[in-house]
Structure 1
Amino acid sequence: MLRRKKVFTKPQVDSKRRKVVCRTGTEEQQEKRFFNIRKGVKRIRENLTEEERTHTGEEVLSRMRTLRNCQSADRREVENRRSKERMAILRKKRAVTSKIENLKLQAFH
Structure 2
Amino acid sequence: MTHRIYGMSFASVYPHYVTKAAKKSRTQAEVDEVIRWLTGYSQAQLEAQIAERTTFTDFFGGAPAMNPSRSLITGKVCGVQVDAIEEPLMREIRYLDKLIDELAKGRPMAKILRA
TM-score normalised according to structure 2 size: 0.21
TM-score normalised according to structure 1 size: 0.22
Question: If each structure's helix is expressed as a fraction of its own residues, which one has the higher value?
Answer: 1
Structure number with bigger Rg: 1
